[in-house]
Amino acid sequence: MKTTIQTIQCKKNQEKITAITAYDSLFASLFDTQVDIILIGDSLNMSFGGKKDTLSITLEEMIYHTKAVCRGAKKSFIITDMPFGTYATPKTAVKNALKIYQKTNADAIKIEGGQQRCKTISSIVQEGIAVVAHIGLMPQFVRSEGGYKIKGKNDTEAKILLEDAMILQEAGACMIVLEGIRSDVAACISKNLHIPTIGIGSGLQCDGQILVWSDLFGFFQQFKPKFVRQYLNGAELIQEALQKYIFDIKSSQFPSMEESY
């Protein structure tokens, strides 16, 4: 049965919500039925596209990857990121969110930002589109903030984050991603909201957790953030297998008779 926003929301205070990113149909089909949520994160611009940040991805590229993921995943709840610059005003945001909903089977869209997104979120929700908010460390703000900054480090920041979360919930967000927020602050936000929080680098007390798939499976080797737990040595396994393949070709051991017509 398809996972809906109601299924996810019912899990709050009952069981942890599981989420992972995916950018293509193949991996989405491997994750589907196992995780509650698949996010087509704009992180794909970095881990898939090799770019230095998420800022340059286009709406068309997100739509392309979202369509691919939706073809592979029939059960999980699918969220897709609105790229940087595509929700600068409520009017643009509605136009672009409608485009995503019309062209893909995404169940919700995600946008970064605090209480300044209040009107944007309510305008999109009014059109019948589910919106996931994203606060704390917001990768789309990397240039304006001069780097990736952990949030909630002092009382003022903690107060603003809680206020942001409450206002975004009020505006109609169905879920909130809490990224790079001090654990006790994320715990307090999660406790005070009736909608679920999905944490990344924000401690154990969030209602669910998400990781970028290439970090989780050890395919991204340049940098491993503190909050990533690596469940597979993906890069090593691929490279070992590739070495064997190259060896077999060069030593004329591949293909065998059984592998030939």
Element (H, E) at 27: helix 25-31
Which residue number places its CB atom closest to ligand KIV? 41
Enumerate long-range contacts of 199-202, CB under 8 Å, 24 or more apart.
200/227, 201/137, 201/150, 201/225, 201/226, 201/227, 202/136, 202/178, 202/227
Question: Which lies closer to ligand KIV via its Cβ, residue 164 or residue 179?
Answer: 179
Provide the minimum distance between the beta carbon of 199 and ligand KIV in the complex, in angstroms, as a whole number: 9
Closest contact distance (angstroms) between CB of 133 and ligand KIV is 11
Name which of 205, 176, 67, 157 is nearest 117 in CA terms: 176
| Residue selected from 200, 208, 214, 234 as contacting ligand KIV according to rule CB under 6 A | 200
Catalytic residue, candidates 61, 112, 170, 179 = 179
Q: Report cis status (omega within 30 of 0) of the bond before 83.
A: no
Q: What's the Cα-to-Cα distance from 172 to each of 25, 27, 29, 85, 90, rounded to whole Å?
A: 30, 31, 30, 21, 14
Check residue 136 for interaction with ligand KIV (CB under 6 A): no
Q: Dmax of the chain from CA atoms?
A: 70
**Residue 80-99 contact track with ligand KIV, rule CB under 6 A, x = bound:** -x------------------
Our finding on whether 42 is near ligand KIV (CB under 6 A) is yes
Select the residue interacting with ligand KIV from 20, 121, 131, 210 (CB under 6 A). Answer: 210
Determine, following the binding rule CB under 6 A, whether residue 43 of this chain makes contact with ligand KIV. yes
Name residues contacting ligand KIV, limited to 161-180 (CB under 6 A): 177, 179
Q: Which of residues 228-247 bind ligand KIV (CB under 6 A)?
A: none
Q: What is the DSSP string of 41-72?
A: -TTHHHHTT--SSSTT--HHHHHHHHHHHHHH
- Residue 106 vs residues 63, 64, 102: alpha-carbon distances, Å: 9, 12, 9
Task: Between 43 and 104, name the residue whose CB sits nearer to ligand KIV.
Answer: 43
Q: Identify the residue among 3, 21, 115, 202 touching ligand KIV (CB under 6 A).
A: 21
236 is catalytic: no
Residue 197 within binding range of ligand KIV, rule CB under 6 A: no
Shortest Å, Cβ 165 to ligand KIV: 15
Measure the CA–CA gap between 261 and 254, rounded to whole angstroms.
Answer: 13
Q: How far lies 105's CA from each of 54, 75, 86, in Å?
A: 22, 12, 19
- In the complex, the residues that contact ligand KIV under the rule CB under 6 A are 21, 39, 41-43, 81, 177, 179, 200, 210, 212
Annotated catalytic residues are 179
